[in-house]
Structure 1
Amino acid sequence: MFSSEVIRSFNELETAIYQYICQNGEKVVYMRIRELADETHVSTATIQRFCKKINCEGFSEFKIKLKMYLTQEKKQPIKNAEHSFVEFYERTLKGDLDQKVKEAAAVVGKAENVIFLGIGSSGILAEYGARYFSSIGKFSVHIKDPLFPVNSSLMQDSVTIVLSVSGENHFTVTHLNQFKQKGSKIISITNHNNSTVAKISDMNIPYFVTEEFCEGSNITTQVPVVYILESMGREIHRLNQ
């Protein structure tokens, strides 16, 4: 509900209001504007300006949006691992996944340099992918730091394998644009085939599972990604033999 850009724009009084709302959200949705003003030691005019800054016409609209946000944020039951695997099997493994993996492996097998890219949990899997590929004879490196400098010479005759659940991470998209402009072929493994990362890739392998969140963190199963990486690695090894 509060973007990083908006939070940075808050002055001292607005920051105090923001902090109070974060700690007392369930209480604020039932408050009158005067009550919130008294609790945060600001004027009602300051609260009105605060609401305008987050694109609300007034305090009433803000409370409606806050209530909707809190409802969405309430804990949802986490699906068991079996459900996630069955979903992956039904939606993806019964499709043309194997063919896409073979096509991607053929491209990677011919490349001189292989770069894995991911941020957050995808960064951990990027590290795993680079290690796995290196173990089967295709030396690879991984990048999980969004500010990591990349030498353009590394991009020559290279393939970048990017991992992203949403395919919309700002740092990932920015890196991909740089890599693509420097001539690297892009293979993406994402949960959606219509995401930004998928669209700017030369080849996309989607796995179509339901995204899950817990306490604001994305906990979507990564079993499909491990399966795809290991299948691709084994196919590369087979081709090299």
Structure 2
Amino acid sequence: MLFLDHTPELTETDMIIYRIIVKNMNTVVYMRIRDLAKITYCSTASIQRFCQKFDCAGWSEFKTRLKLYVANKNLNQEYPTDLDSGEVVRSIMETDTPDGRQKIDEVAKMLLTRKQVLWIGQGTSKILAEFGAVNYSSFVNLSLLIQNPIDNPIVDFDETATDELCLIVCSVSGENHIIIKYIDNFIKHKIPVVAITNNVTSTIAKMSQYTLTYFATQQMIESDNVTTQTPAMFLIEKLIRRASSLKQVEKDSKL
């Protein structure tokens, strides 16, 4: 991870700091610790602890090592094709923590109160959304993918529909402007929106009533986001199977 040859144990606060650094590597190397604290909304103490997890005494040493890493990366022009298996496994294991299970249970219970679950995504996230729609239909109830949000705008909803619908949004960055504009109508009509994203501080995450996050280092090839979707796919399947289990428990209780 970055200039380390291993992946340190990072908290959610650490991941917020990490994402900002990775996204702005060419500029953060010139920032003071106070400047970084402002854009990450974290304390300077949190940043110092983050640096120590990267085997640095503090922010100054971290910046020095990061500068060398960025210079070497620019020199080699390596494409981000490798995957950090430790990071992927840790993100998957996060779903089994008490907090992870609680969040999944909360969303799963809400889904069972809705007759129609819609899925949406763009790019590779659209493939994930389709995976979610197909699996939800198999395990729980008929579910649909919104194929093209640009050609299928939603202007208004019937009042009866708002109590039956739910929208699940798949977005790595959580900043896709097409998706943001599309889900705005759902939110205005108080239809529950679930965000499955790699960015807990993103616009889509903040707009959504429910947010399920995973951790994966952002990887770009020019303007294309090629961040791994493995943790997201696991999270989707975990959510669907949990909803299916709760539905079966509900059925058994009525017998």
- Post-superposition shift, 1:231? 1.1
- Indicate if the aligned counterparts of 2:139 and 2:244 stay in contact, CA closer than 8 A: yes
Amino acid corresponding to residue 126 of structure 1 in structure 2: A
TM-score, length of structure 1 as denominator length:
0.64
Q: 2:207 aligns with which of 200, 203, 216?
A: 200
- The residue that corresponds to 1:177 in the other structure is 184
- The answer on whether the counterparts of 2:120 and 2:167 sit within 8 Å (CA) in structure 1 is yes
Partner AA of 2:231 in structure 1: P
Which of residues 109, 116, 121 in structure 1 aligns to 2:119?
Answer: 116
Q: After superposition, where does 1:76-225 map in structure 2 within 5 Å? A: 76-80=79-83, 82-89=85-92, 94=97, 96-147=99-150, 148-150=152-154, 152-153=157-158, 154-225=161-232
Q: Secondary structure at 1:78's aligned position in 2?
A: coil
1:53-93, CA deviations, whole angstroms, 9 ceiling, x for partnerless residues? xxxxxxxxxxxxxxx9xx59933443236244234246665
Q: Per the alignment, do residues 112 and 214 of structure 1 end up closer, same or farther by CA in structure 2, a change over 3 Å counting?
A: same
For structure 2, which runs of at least 5 residues remain unmatched after alignment?
1-70, 249-255
In the TM superposition, what is the alpha-carbon distance from 1:220 to its structure 2 partner? Answer: 1.0
Cα pair distance change 1:117/1:129, threshold 3 Å: same
Percent identity of the aligned residues? 32
Identify if the C-alpha distance between structure 1 residues 112 and 217 changes in structure 2 by more than 3 Å, giving closer, same or farther: same
CA distance in 1, matches of 2:76, 2:164: 45
Q: Is the 8 A contact 2:220 2:227 kept in 1?
A: yes
Structure 1 counterpart of 2:236, one-letter code: L
Given that 1:92 and 1:208 are in contact with CA atoms closer than 8 Å, whether structure 2 keeps it comes out as no
Moved more, 191-200 or 86-95: 86-95
| Rg (Cα) greater in structure | 1
Judge which range, 228-237 or 83-92, deviates more: 83-92
Query: Structure 1: which 5+ runs fail to align?
Result: 1-67
The 1:136/1:72 distance shift into structure 2, 3 A limit, reads farther
Alignment of 1:60-71 (within 5 A): 71=74
1:72–1:181 CA distance, 2 compared to 1 (3 A): farther
Alpha-carbon separation, structure 2, partners of 1:94 and 1:104: 16
8 Å Cα contact 1:119-1:144 kept in structure 2: no
Could you say if the C-alpha distance between residues 189 and 234 of structure 1 is closer, same or farther in structure 2, counting changes exceeding 3 Å? Answer: same
Q: Which amino acid aligns with 2:198?
A: N
Q: How far did residue 227 of structure 1 move? A: 1.1
Q: Secondary structure at the match of 1:173?
A: helix
Distance 1:231-1:212 versus aligned 2 partners, 3 A rule: same
Q: Given residue 152 of structure 1, which amino acid in structure 2 is its aligned partner?
A: F
Q: How many residues align?
A: 173
Inter-partner Cα distance in structure 2 for 1:208 and 1:81: 11
